[in-house]
């Protein structure tokens, strides 16, 4: 589906307004992703109790960490295609409602095997990220799309930090009401499950696919090409080496964040001998940086794009990714709690800025297959988390050494930006569209020659 043909994209973010469809969608997408993230990682801060209740070994805990992110690789690829074909509104609604079921059902697990299956099922909800980025990309213009993408994703990722703090409190309330720990963690997971189900209904009622209506309506009016064209655009994007470079890059930032969300509470609990509640609060600080950090990545990506073009966006991404890797290596060497916390926060800001910078580039790779590109790149985050997860299931490898190896891998991944290039023609076309938006004129991207649009899929 050619997103270049979508009209009336917003050129600014009116944060405190709900009047326009663009801003209603903006707020609905980040809220939905926040709750999806909350449900996705709701069990993570309770793992010390689950480990004891189900008698899990370190390898089995590692396997559940891998399961929670592995299935999301496939889910994100599928969801990207479905968003192109059926629109983000219906796709998000279905994902939220179906995804709520394993979140509520994980309390039924009575063994390692059933717990593993439920964590696998919950991982599907992580595909919500792709729709979040897709929906804001079709609602906002090229001068602000990186900031919009980064903010909705960042505030959504905030759910990963909030859940680290809130779920132990939910468990405490359950225990205070007379429920034991073994039953308490099961009851606690019903809360995010119900929230996801209700949000799925709200998403359908509040949003539309595009500023002027749903894709189905726009296709009926001849304002968008038929949905069948999404099949060809899928393979066009899948053959683009730049998409796979960004796949690996996103694995080196979002994949790392997912891994930290899964292991941080356990790491601080075991390494510094502190209680589950305090470990959850400290781990939650990592995710709380999403309040502003990912937005910063998208904002500075947009600024670099305005000043230096698409190449500026890419080089900014490479620089912040390099700093992320160095910060992670530094954090891994901290032996005192009072030093580990600030080191983690610096690393957190940089990893989330890298994520925002990545999705300030994604909307420009292939406008005819935005969903597919977002799906493949988003899946890279989960692939990175799966790869990192194997480090944390090794009995012979300490967690701090696993962090060191991940940092080295991130530094190496920063060099992949050299493979993300755009043709001079595409650079010129995007600069023209940007000038029109900044001048207040409606962008003419929808009227660009077909050959010019196609060129954005194969830049060298």
Please check whether residue 200 lies inside any domain of the structure.
yes
**C-alpha to C-alpha distance for 282 and 156, rounded to whole angstroms:** 19
b/e map 430-441, b = 16+ CB within 10 Å: beebbebbeeee
Q: State which residues form the domain around 280.
A: 18-421
- The pLDDT, as a whole number, for residue 321 is 98
Nearest partner of 81 among 234, 205, 273, 185, judged by Cα: 234
- The pLDDT, as a whole number, for residue 451 is 36
In Å, how far are 209, 296, 309, 317, 352 from 415, measured between CA atoms?
A: 36, 21, 19, 10, 18
Contact 374, 130 (CB under 8 A): yes
Q: What is the overall mean pLDDT for the chain?
A: 90
Mean pLDDT in residue range 323-344: 97
Rg (CA), the chain: 21
The band of 455, judged by pLDDT with boundaries at 50, 70 and 90, is very low
Compute the CA torsion angle 414, 417, 384, 364 (nearest 10 deg).
140
Please check whether residue 452 lies inside any domain of the structure.
no
Mean pLDDT in residue range 13-29: 95
What is the percent of the chain with per-residue pLDDT over 70, rounded to a whole number?
A: 93
Please check whether residue 7 lies inside any domain of the structure.
no
**C-alpha to C-alpha distance for 391 and 88, rounded to whole angstroms:** 35
Please check whether residue 75 lies inside any domain of the structure.
yes
Mean pLDDT in residue range 50-60: 93
- The pLDDT, as a whole number, for residue 58 is 86
Please check whether residue 339 lies inside any domain of the structure.
yes
- The pLDDT, as a whole number, for residue 1 is 58
Residue-wise pLDDT tens digits, 140-184: 999 999 999 999 999 998 888 888 889 999 999 999 999 988 899
Please check whether residue 148 lies inside any domain of the structure.
yes
236 vs 39, higher pLDDT? 39
**C-alpha to C-alpha distance for 249 and 53, rounded to whole angstroms:** 37
Please check whether residue 458 lies inside any domain of the structure.
no
Residue-wise pLDDT tens digits, 67-125: 888 899 999 989 998 998 899 999 999 999 999 999 999 999 999 999 999 999 999 99
Worst-scoring range by mean pLDDT, 2-6, 37-41, 127-131? 2-6
Please check whether residue 12 lies inside any domain of the structure.
no
**C-alpha to C-alpha distance for 400 and 174, rounded to whole angstroms:** 33
Residue-wise pLDDT tens digits, 196-237: 999 999 999 999 999 999 999 988 888 887 766 656 567 788
Mean pLDDT in residue range 391-409: 93
Residue with tokens 């939220």: 96
Contacts of 202 (CB under 8 A, 6+ apart): 28
**Where residue 139 sits, what CATH number does that domain have?**
1.20.1250.20
Question: Total structural domains in the chain?
Answer: 1
């Amino acid at each position: 589906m050619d997103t270049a043909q979508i009209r009336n994209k917003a050129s600014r973010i009116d944060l405190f307004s709900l009047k326009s469809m663009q801003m209603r969608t903006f707020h609905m997408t980040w809220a939905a992703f926040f709750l999806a993230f909350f449900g996705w990682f709701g069990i993570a801060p309770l793992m010390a109790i689950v480990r004891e209740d189900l008698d899990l070994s370190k390898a089995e805990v590692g396997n559940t960490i891998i399961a929670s992110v592995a299935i999301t690789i496939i889910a994100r690829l599928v969801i990207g295609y479905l968003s192109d074909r059926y629109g983000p509104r219906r796709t998000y609604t279905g994902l939220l409602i179906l995804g709520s079921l394993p979140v509520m059902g994980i309390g039924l697990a009575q063994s390692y095997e059933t717990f593993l299956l439920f964590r696998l099922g919950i991982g599907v909800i992580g595909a919500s990220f792709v729709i979040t980025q897709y929906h804001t990309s079709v609602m906002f213009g090229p001068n602000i799309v990186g900031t919009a993408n980064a903010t909705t994703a960042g505030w959504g990722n905030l759910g990963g930090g909030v859940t680290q703090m809130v779920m132990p409190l939910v468990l405490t309330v359950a225990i205070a009401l007379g429920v034991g720990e073994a039953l308490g963690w099961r009851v606690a997971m019903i809360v995010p499950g119900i929230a996801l189900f209700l949000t799925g209904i709200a998403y359908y009622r509040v949003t539309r696919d595009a500023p002027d209506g749903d894709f189905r309506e726009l296709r009926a009016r001849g304002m968008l090409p038929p949905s069948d064209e999404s099949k060809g655009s899928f393979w066009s994007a899948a053959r683009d080496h730049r998409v796979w470079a960004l796949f690996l890059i996103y694995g080196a930032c979002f994949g790392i964040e997912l891994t930290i969300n899964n292991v941080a509470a356990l790491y601080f609990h075991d390494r510094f001998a502190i209680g589950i509640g305090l470990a959850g609060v400290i781990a939650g600080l990592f995710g709380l940086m999403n309040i502003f950090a990912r937005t910063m990545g998208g904002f500075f990506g947009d600024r670099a794009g305005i000043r230096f073009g698409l190449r500026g966006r890419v080089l900014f991404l490479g620089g912040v990714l390099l700093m992320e890797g160095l910060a992670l290596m530094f954090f891994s060497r901290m032996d005192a709690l009072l030093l580990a916390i600030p080191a983690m926060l610096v690393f957190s800001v940089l990893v989330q800025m890298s994520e925002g910078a990545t999705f300030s580039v994604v909307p420009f790779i292939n406008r005819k297959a935005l969903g597919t590109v977002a799906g493949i790149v988003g899946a890279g985050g989960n692939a990175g988390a799966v790869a990192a997860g194997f480090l944390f299931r090794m009995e012979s490898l300490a967690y701090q050494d696993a962090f060191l190896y991940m940092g080295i891998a991130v530094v190496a991944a920063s060099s992949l930006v050299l493979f993300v290039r755009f043709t001079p023609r595409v650079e010129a076309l995007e600069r023209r569209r940007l000038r029109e938006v900044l001048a207040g004129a409606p962008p003419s991207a929808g009227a660009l020659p077909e050959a010019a649009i196609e060129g954005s899929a194969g830049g060298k």
